[in-house]
Amino acid sequence: MSPLVSVICICFNHESFVEKAINSVLKQSYKNIELIIIDNGSTDNSFSIIQEICKQHPEIQLLQFPETISITKAFNKGFERSKGRFLIDLSADDVLLEDAVEKQVAFFLEQPEQVGLIFGNAYHIDEQDRRTAAFFEVNQENKVIDKSLFHVDYQKLLEGGLTMCSVSSMFTRKHFELLNRYDERLFFEDLDYWLRLSLNYEIRFLDDFLVEKRFIKDSLGNQFHKKHTFSKKINRSLRKIYSDSLKRNSNKQEHRALLKRIHYSMEQSFKNRLWLDLLKFSWLEILCRFYILFK
């Protein structure tokens, strides 16, 4: 039988986009899907829109949080309700292509047991649903130019760069439980989970378009390192991820890879005049250099 896939869709003030995100799940060519929608303290009309859709689709599970909590906590709450062998973390402003889940499941079933996550390519779309670019650059056959994506591992993720496309990922319930779910102390989920997973398990790339990733000026993804309400929470989470990586790294190459990440955060903090964050990242930079020299 086709394995059950749990799509956990988190909505925060996405009244203009949530209906399209939900419909993209309901219209999947792959049918063995459970959809869990979380309204994460929206202050716009999102919850009313979701409620109306749920009236027509009573199989949808709906959770509402009166106050906004971190994405990590929200997803973990949804996970507790889920039953699927495979999991998708869907933002309510993104869109699954119609055959995305079918392709993901088929690809996953071809993988060995140590593979805990797969990911693919995505189209960037604007607020009017217009496709603007590919997440990973492609050739005329719509295949990625960067072949290193087929060899994503812990050290490469540490180095950073255009390596992750979390919106196009699917991961296993088994590995999510083994790794004790998302770290709820963090403000965002993907980097920490990918690093922890890749340390002992494998990540594989599916060279196909699976998702439309919406580019919104005020979205969480566009607030990294900016002088904004979210910046302190984001940088605090990054420092924890860097500190944890420093402790678990096993060789100088991994420390040097982490140093690249720390330098990028320092540069962005300087650029945006976040002086206290710059100071704290600088201390991590000193520690990382110490580990390279003496550990």
Q: At what angle do helices 275-294 and 231-248 cross, to 10 degrees?
A: 10
- The pLDDT, as a whole number, for residue 216 is 75
Q: Could you say which of 163, 191, 217 is where a domain stops? A: 217
pLDDT value of position 278: 96
If residue 36 lies in a helix (H) or strand (E), which one and from where to where? strand 33-40
The answer to whether 212 and 94 have CB atoms below 8 angstroms apart is yes
Both 17 and 108 in one domain: the answer is yes
Q: What sign has the CA pseudo-torsion 29, 30, 36, 40? A: negative
pLDDT for position 220: 46
Domain boundary among 168, 191, 217: 217
Q: How far apart are CA 80 and CA 88, in angstroms?
A: 14
pLDDT for the residue numbered 294: 87
Q: CA of 200: how far to CAs of 151, 156, 230, in Å? A: 15, 14, 31
What does the DSSP 8-state code read for residue 114?
A: T
* pLDDT tens figures, 4-16: 999 999 999 999 9
Of 280, 222, 214, 289, nearest to 249 by C-alpha is: 289
Summarize pLDDT for 199-254 with one digit per residue, the tens.
Answer: 999 999 999 999 999 987 654 444 444 456 678 889 999 999 999 999 999 999 99
- Both 103 and 249 in one domain: the answer is no
Q: CB of 95 within 8 A of CB of 20?
A: yes
What's residue 229's pLDDT? 64
28 and 102 belong to one structural domain: yes
Percent residues over pLDDT 90 in the chain: 90
**Alpha-carbon span 198 to 154, nearest angstrom:** 5
**Cβ(175)–Cβ(201) under 8 Å?**
yes
Residues 72 and 184 in one domain: yes
Length of the chain: 295
Q: Which two tokens stand for residue 290?
A: 């110490």
Alpha carbon distance 118, 191 (integer Å) = 14
Based on the domain organization, do 17 and 146 belong to the same domain?
yes
Q: Which two tokens stand for residue 183?
A: 């770290």
pLDDT per residue of the chain (295 residues) written in tens, 0 to 9: 799 999 999 999 999 999 999 999 999 999 999 999 999 999 999 999 999 999 999 999 999 999 999 999 999 999 999 999 999 999 999 999 999 999 999 999 999 999 999 999 999 999 999 999 999 999 999 999 999 999 999 999 999 988 999 999 999 999 999 999 999 999 998 999 999 999 999 999 999 999 999 987 654 444 444 456 678 889 999 999 999 999 999 999 999 999 999 999 999 999 988 999 999 999 999 999 999 998 7
Structure token pair of residue 171:
């991961």
For residues 171 and 245, state if they share a domain.
Answer: no
Tally of domains within the chain: 2
Measured CA to CA, the distance from residue 15 to residue 36 in angstroms comes to 17
In angstroms, rounded to a whole number, what is the distance separating the alpha carbons of residues 248 and 180?
A: 17
How high is the pLDDT of residue 224? 44
| Among 161, 107, 101, 108, CA closest to 135 | 161
Q: Say if CB 98 and CB 28 are below 8 A apart.
A: yes
What CATH number does the domain containing 55 carry? 3.90.550.10
Element (H, E) at 242: helix 231-248
2, exposed or middle or buried, with CB in 10 Å at 0-12, 13-18, 19+?
A: middle
Amino acid occupying residue 267: E
Whether 130 and 242 share a structural domain:
no
Which domain does 271 fall in, by range?
223-294
